[in-house]
Amino acid sequence: MRTMAIIKRILRQLRRDKRSMALMIVAPLFILTLMWLVLDGDTYVPEIAVVDLPSSIVKSLDEQEAEIRHIPEQEAREKLQNKELDAMITWEESKPEVLLEGSDPTANGAVQKVLQQAMKEKAAKPVPEPELKFLHGSEELNLFDNTGPVLIGFFVFFFVFIVGGVSFLRERTQGTLERLLSTPLKRWEIVFGYLGGFGLFTIVQSIIIAAFSIYVLNMYMSGEFWYVMLITFLLAMAALSLGTLLSAYANNEFQMMQFIPLVIVPQVFFSGIFNLETMEPWLRAIGKVMPLTYGGEALRDIMIRGKGFAVFSNEVYILIGFTILFITLNILALKRHRTL
């Protein structure tokens, strides 16, 4: 009987907490649907430029599952630099030479598969083994090297979101925030004070995570370390401002955790861990409203492609824009507690 009493009490609590009940049902269905949409995409079709190849090889390539472009070599190199092509094939000393964009192992594998199929089955006569060169990365670039930059951004974003959101929630539930709101402090001063305090912690966290990944785990790195620090810090500030914003709509730590499957998990699918090119255009557009999409792309530009600030500057400005938006909403959210 006492056990039944406990069971009834738990059921009554769940019945009163309708948000938790809905989340337990809706969140798994939402994430499974998202995984289906992302992972059930088409097979990756590489884009390959051909320059002065024998007609028999060109014909063989045209019959493969690839987008073959017949453009001048200089234009092809520019498109490779801009990630508009996966590879360029030229004819050097009686054998094909393949220049791969190199930063995506999936694209590299697709190009090599197409090339091997064309040379082996369709060529009019045997062709020497093509020479592979990499514009970015190398032949040793593996899955961890490819996803590593995104993982750095994700873990910084995830843990700062949780720590910042829960800490700010405790400030509110323990009455600290209410006492601050009873002082002459302005709402923006309170928000910036909290962000500044936690921001110092995020700098230390970003340095440790990035340095450990690159210098201890030997993650592929061809760019400047301080650029990595810049992006991870901006991601951390976006996560911190978002976490403190959402904490205003949670009554306890459990409710704060409920935001994870709705806010954090979807960002993983659009951060670059999965190849976005195989998704439907409308699905790719969802990633445009997620900070981790821009952070992951910028970190890949730095760590794998070795690019400078000019290349990923748009991502920097967008991350700053997200942070400013979340901070503004934070200030407005404090009106729930006091009007200044």
- pLDDT 10s digits, 224-277: 999 999 999 999 999 988 988 888 787 777 778 888 888 888 888 888 777 777
DSSP state of 213: I
Whether the CB-CB separation of 233 and 152 falls below 8 Å is answered with: no
pLDDT at position 199: 76
Q: Which domains does the chain have, with CATH numbers?
A: 47-134 (3.40.190), 143-336 (no CATH)
Going from the C-alpha of 99 to that of each of 91, 103, 118, the distances in angstroms are 11, 12, 17
Least confidently predicted of 122-136, 141-155, 216-230, 237-251: 122-136
pLDDT value of position 340: 39
Reported as half-sphere exposure (CB side, CA atoms, 13 A), residue 17 has a value of 16
* DSSP structure string for 13-43: HHHH-HHHHHHHHHHHHHHHHHHHHHHT-PP
Q: What is the DSSP string of 305-333?
A: T---HHHHHHHHHHHHHHHHHHHHHHHHH
Contact (CB, 8 A) for 100 and 134 = yes
Q: pTM for the complete prediction?
A: 0.79
- Band of pLDDT at residue 339, cut at 50, 70 and 90: very low
Give the mean pLDDT of the chain. Answer: 80
Residue 261: Cβ within 10 Å count: 16
Percent of the chain with pLDDT over 70: 86
Give the integer Cα–Cα distance in Å for 56 and 125: 9
Distances (CA, A) of 321 to 268, 271, 290, 316: 20, 18, 12, 9
